[in-house]
């Protein structure tokens, strides 16, 4: 591989990431008249957390009372860190956008009165349609083309560089504005579709000075079969739970939020979907969450009658609510020319501190993507033509002189040993988090070592490893900065909500991480 | 993880190499080979895209297993996930059959549903809506 770019493109807007948020950003930027390039690590259509399975949406018909009730419920659940105006914006925008999805050919089911039920999407179908729409809008799509670093000058961000995983070719796209839509960081924990979500977008943005917000809320874990990867928990609403001796741990019905995490610390936990007690109920569940049943049946297990072992997989910032801090209604970040959408952006303005999973994130991806794409297109119209751009990438890409080779596999394992364990990151204590932060801080110099660039896969993995180290440091710093229990964040030493801490926590920086508070807008 | 590329079925279209989110396959003179099995995230999406059902993803996320292509073909496992998603000619998509908007009606706390309501929930659409 050579350092010189072999593919050079000029665009108005570069979108980095081809999940739903990136697709909506690209489509909206193109509709606003921009020349758009979309670069995706995998493939626009198959890549990311949404593609393989089903996803719920926050979607309500335009009924003022219904919407106001949903807004109030979320304000409460999110620890009073969300903003009613932003939740209403999402409800308005997603209603419009899903009508488009239907017009593009998505076959939403209707109820007995013919009312379309647009609160759930099957990923493969949804993203196939999005790819088609983006392509028709004239966007140039670069598949298998991860971005590695941003280009910056005194005007802000003006493009990015990356490589093709298929042939190692380096690419460079210069653009008046860039949208980061790279998803959250799930630390290669093998949640469904999540191993492409390794945080490079956050790292690239931070290298240009972008701030992050809400990283302390990265505390979500999702259940899957212990041997599998299908983190879809909804079907477990029809489960009973047992230990390895067949003793009932939970006989069905509502469970406390901590139930599975606590039970798994005691030993193996098994579930049986025995509350789906008729062939009709089973058929309905199969057609709802088909991918939940796939690994079980391939392993020879009938989940309605036979117990299957469960685990919890860490979802990092993906189902947490933190990400790049947004400074405007069109999802600008704190760096000029840089926009953020989907799980790469903080979802606090809508979700507050409670998991954005289950509907909120999917609708947020559509809305933030639409706004960021439009905002980036407008910014690009005014962007200066003459740029003196330089690459901004550091750790995992450009080694500190004289440093040792990066052992990416060892680095990833070392980060995972701190962020994945329930004992550290779910049952959080100040003492435990301090120790974990010390461990991941010590990894940062290693991440700045000499990357193996012999294959595109190795070069990318070194950058991913560096991004995961950075993300873990932001998470632990923020978690230690919130000395209370609020929404999804807990600290054993501070089990109560502290009204004086009703603020956002902003982290920034790489060598030294700065932490500050920001008031929640009224 | 991905365990099988059936060389007898593969038509060397290259789609799996392009669509795999984690870049598991390499193209060897047209034929996809499993070059980085441990990067597989067991998301099954390659099976959905493969037009000739030549791929098999085993359900184990961390552990490689031995598979028997003839047995997987004989019991209909090859291609079963693409069939469930409803991609391919003359199939109804899972999206069109999706029962998710109705599942709260069968929560364990709910009374049994009348037969006609169940029939409505499980009904196939009269026809696929035409793509715009």
pLDDT at A461 over 70: yes
Measured distance CA(B82)–CA(B74) in Å, rounded: 16
Residues B16 and B79 in one domain: yes
Predicted local distance difference test score (pLDDT) of residue B132:
41
The answer to whether residue B132 sits within a structural domain is no
- Contacts A287 to B, Cβ<8 Å: 94, 97-99, 122
What is the distance, to the nearest Å, from the Cα of residue B24 to the centroid of all Cα atoms in its chain?
17
Q: Do A229 and B41 touch (CB under 8 A)?
A: yes
Is residue B65 one of the residues assigned to a domain?
yes
Is any Cβ of chain B less than 8 angstroms from the Cβ of A117?
A: yes
pLDDT in the model for residue A383: 85
Cα B53 to Cα B5: distance, rounded to the nearest angstrom = 9
From the list A105, A252, A298, which residue is nearest B131 (CB)? A105
Contact A43 B21 (CB under 8 A): yes
- Note the pLDDT tens digit of each residue in A199-252: 999 999 999 999 999 999 999 999 999 999 999 888 999 999 999 999 999 987
Q: What's A223-312's CATH class?
A: alpha beta
Backbone angles phi, psi at A507, to 5 degrees: -115, 150
Share of chain A above pLDDT 70, in %: 99
B-chain CB neighbours of A109 within 8 Å are: 96, 98-99, 101-102
**What is the ipTM score, two decimals?**
0.95
Quote the pLDDT of residue A320. 87
Q: What is the largest CA-CA distance in chain B?
A: 59
Convert A91-123 to b/e letters by CB count within 10 Å (16 or more is b).
Answer: bebbbebbebbbebbbbbbeeeeeebebbbbbb
| A137-163: average pLDDT | 98
Predicted confidence band at A4 (pLDDT cuts at 50, 70, 90)? confident
Q: Which two tokens stand for residue B26?
A: 């390499």
Report the b/e string of B64-99 with b at 16+ CB within 10 A: eeeeebeebbeeebbbbbbebbbbeeeeebbbbbbb
B81 and B104 housed in the same domain: no
* CB-CB under 8 Å, A126 with B23: no
H or E element at residue A144: none
- Which residues on A lie below 8 Å from B91 (Cβ)? none
Q: Cβ(B103)–Cβ(A288) under 8 Å?
A: yes
Average of pLDDT values for B52-63?
Answer: 97
Handedness of CA A429, A432, A435, A438 (dihedral sign): negative
Looking up tokens 């020319």 gives: A337
pLDDT of residue A478: 98
pLDDT number for residue A402: 81
Band of the pLDDT at A358, cuts 50, 70, 90?
Answer: low
- Chain B residue nearest residue A50, CA to CA: B43
Looking at domain A7-218+316-391, its CATH superfamily turns out to be FAD/NAD(P)-binding domain (3.50.50.60)
Joined together, the tokens standing for residue A121 give: 């999407």
Burial of B36-61, coded b for 16+ CB within 10 Å and e otherwise, reads eeebbbbbbbbbbbbebbbbbbbbbb
Mean pLDDT over A450-469 rounds to 97
- As a whole number of angstroms, the distance between CA A386 and CA A383 comes to 9
B56-B58-B63 Cα angle (round to 5): 135
What is the CATH number for B19? 3.30.70.20
Among A48, A105, A298, select the one facing B129 at the smallest CB separation. Answer: A105
Q: How far apart are CA B51 and CA B32, in angstroms?
A: 14
Query: Which residues fall within 8 angstroms of residue A418, CB to CB, at 6 or more apart?
Result: A424, A425, A436, A439, A440, A472, A476
Residue A289: partners with Cβ closer than 8 Å, 6 or more residues away: A53, A54, A232, A234, A235, B100
Question: What SS3 state is found at A474?
Answer: helix
Residue B90: inside a domain: no
Query: What angle in degrees, to the nearest 10, is found between the helix axes of A123-136 and A84-103?
Result: 80
**Is residue A357 scored above 70 in pLDDT?**
no
CB contact under 8 A, A196 and B22: yes
Same domain for B114 and B51, yes or no, is no
Pair B69, B20 in one domain: yes
**Residue B31, SS3?**
strand
Range B23-40 average pLDDT: 97
User: Computed over its alpha carbons, how large is the radius of gyration of chain A?
Assistant: 22
Q: Is A101 in contact with A126 (CB distance < 8 Å)? A: yes
**What percent of chain A has pLDDT above 90?**
92
* Domain covering A408-496: architecture: Up-down Bundle (1.20)
Would you call B36 and A275 a contact, using CB atoms and an 8 Å cutoff? no
pLDDT at A3: 58
Q: Domain count of chain B?
A: 2
In angstroms, the Cα distances linking A251 to A76, A239, B119 are 29, 8, 29
- Domain of B44 in residue numbering reads as 2-85
Q: What is the mean pLDDT of residues B28-32?
A: 95
A109 touches chain B (CB under 8 A): yes
Q: Is A380 in a helix, a strand, or coil?
A: helix
% of chain B exceeding 70 in pLDDT = 95
CB A414 within 8 A of CB A442: no
**Same-domain status, B13 and B36:** yes
Residues B64 and B114 in one domain: no
Q: Compute the average pLDDT of residues A125-153.
A: 98
Which value, to the nearest 10 degrees, does the dihedral of the CA atoms of residues A97, A103, A104, A107 take?
A: 100
| Residues on chain A touching B45 (C-beta within 8 angstroms) | 46, 51-52, 124, 193
Q: Using one digit for the tens of pLDDT, what is the confidence trace for A45-81?
A: 999 999 999 999 999 999 999 999 999 988 998 999 9
**Nearest CB to B18: which of A54, A144, A290?**
A144
Taking 50 as the threshold, does the pLDDT of residue A360 lie above it? yes
Please identify which residue in the block is written with the tokens 């929930």.
B121
Q: B51 and B106: one domain? A: no
Question: Does the pLDDT of residue B28 top 80, yes or no?
Answer: yes
**pLDDT tens, residue by residue, A12-43:** 999 999 999 999 999 999 999 999 999 999 99
Within a domain: residue B31?
yes
Per-window interface: A 289-308 vs B, CB < 8 A: 289-291, 294-296, 298-299
pLDDT at A1: 43
Domain range annotation of chain A: 7-218+316-391, 223-312, 408-496
Strand A248-250 to A270-272 pairing = unpaired
pLDDT for the residue numbered A81: 95
Please indicate, yes or no, whether residues B75 and B14 belong to a single structural domain of this protein. Answer: yes
Query: Which stretches does DSSP call E strand in A228-322?
Result: 240-242, 248-250, 270-272, 308-314
Higher-confidence position of A257 and A374: A374
B19–A285 C-beta distance less than 8 A: no
pLDDT digits (tens, 9 = 90+) for A503-522: 999 999 999 999 999 999 97
Q: Give B-chain residues touching A122 at CB under 8 angstroms.
A: 85, 93-95, 98
């Amino acid at each position: 591989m050579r350092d010189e770019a072999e593919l050079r493109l000029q665009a108005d807007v570069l979108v980095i990431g081809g999940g739903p948020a990136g697709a909506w950003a690209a489509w909206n930027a193109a509709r606003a008249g921009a020349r758009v390039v979309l670069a995706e690590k995998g493939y626009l259509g198959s890549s990311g957390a949404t593609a393989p399975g089903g996803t719920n949406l926050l979607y309500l018909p335009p009924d003022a009372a219904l919407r106001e009730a949903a807004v109030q419920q979320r304000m409460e659940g999110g620890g009073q860190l969300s903003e009613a105006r932003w939740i209403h914006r999402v409800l308005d925008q997603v209603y419009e956008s899903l009508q488009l999805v239907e017009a593009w050919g998505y076959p939403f089911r209707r109820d007995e009165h013919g009312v379309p039920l647009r609160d759930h999407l099957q990923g493969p179908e949804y993203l196939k349609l999005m790819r088609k729409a983006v392509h028709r809008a004239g966007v140039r799509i670069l598949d298998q083309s991860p971005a590695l670093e941003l280009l910056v000058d005194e005007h802000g961000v003006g493009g990015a560089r990356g490589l093709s995983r298929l042939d190692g070719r380096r690419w460079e796209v210069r653009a008046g504005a860039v949208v980061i839509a790279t998803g959250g960081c799930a630390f290669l924990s093998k949640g469904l579709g999540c191993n492409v979500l390794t945080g490079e977008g956050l790292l690239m943005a931070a290298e240009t000075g972008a701030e992050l917000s809400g990283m302390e809320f990265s505390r979500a874990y999702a259940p899957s079969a212990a041997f599998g990867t299908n983190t879809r928990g909804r079907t477990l609403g029809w489960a009973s739970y047992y230990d390895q001796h067949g003793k009932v741990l939970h006989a069905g019905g509502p469970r406390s939020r901590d139930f599975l995490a606590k039970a798994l610390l005691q030993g193996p936990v098994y579930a049986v979907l025995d509350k789906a007690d008729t062939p009709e109920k089973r058929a309905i569940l199969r057609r709802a969450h088909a991918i939940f049943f796939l690994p079980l049946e391939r392993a020879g297990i009938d989940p309605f009658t036979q117990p299957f072992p469960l685990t919890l997989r860490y979802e990092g910032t993906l189902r947490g609510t933190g990400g790049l801090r947004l400074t405007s209604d069109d999802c600008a970040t704190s760096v000029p020319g840089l926009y953020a959408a989907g799980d790469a952006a903080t979802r606090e303005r809508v979700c507050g501190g409670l998991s954005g999973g289950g509907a909120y994130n999917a609708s947020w991806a559509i809305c933030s993507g639409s706004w960021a794409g439009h905002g980036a297109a407008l910014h690009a119209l005014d962007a200066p033509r003459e740029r003196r751009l330089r690459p901004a990438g550091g750790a995992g890409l450009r080694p500190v002189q004289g440093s040792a080779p990066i052992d990416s596999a060892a680095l990833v394992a070392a980060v995972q040993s701190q962020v994945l364990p329930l004992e550290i990151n779910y049952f959080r204590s100040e003492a435990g988090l301090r120790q974990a932060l010390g461990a991941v801080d010590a990894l940062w110099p290693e991440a700045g070592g000499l990357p193996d660039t012999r294959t595109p896969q190795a070069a990318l993995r070194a950058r991913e490893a560096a991004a995961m180290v950075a993300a873990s440091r932001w998470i632990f710093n923020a978690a230690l900065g919130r000395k209370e229990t609020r929404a999804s964040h807990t600290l054993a030493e501070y089990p109560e909500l502290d009204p004086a801490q009703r603020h956002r926590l902003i982290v920034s920086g790489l060598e030294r991480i700065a932490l500050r508070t920001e008031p929640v807008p009224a | 993880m991905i365990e099988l590329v059936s060389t007898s079925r593969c038509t060397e279209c290259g789609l799996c190499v392009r669509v795999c989110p984690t870049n598991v396959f390499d193209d060897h003179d047209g034929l996809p080979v499993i070059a980085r099995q441990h990067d597989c995230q067991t998301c099954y999406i390659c099976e959905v895209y493969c037009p000739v059902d030549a791929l098999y993803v085993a359900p184990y996320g961390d552990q490689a297993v031995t598979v028997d292509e003839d047995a997987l073909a004989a019991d209909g496992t090859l291609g079963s996930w693409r069939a469930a998603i409803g991609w391919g000619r003359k199939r109804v998509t899972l999206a069109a059959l999706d029962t998710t908007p109705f599942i709260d009606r069968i929560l364990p706390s709910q009374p049994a549903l009348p037969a006609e309501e169940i029939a409505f929930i499980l009904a196939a659409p009269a026809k696929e809506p035409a793509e715009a």
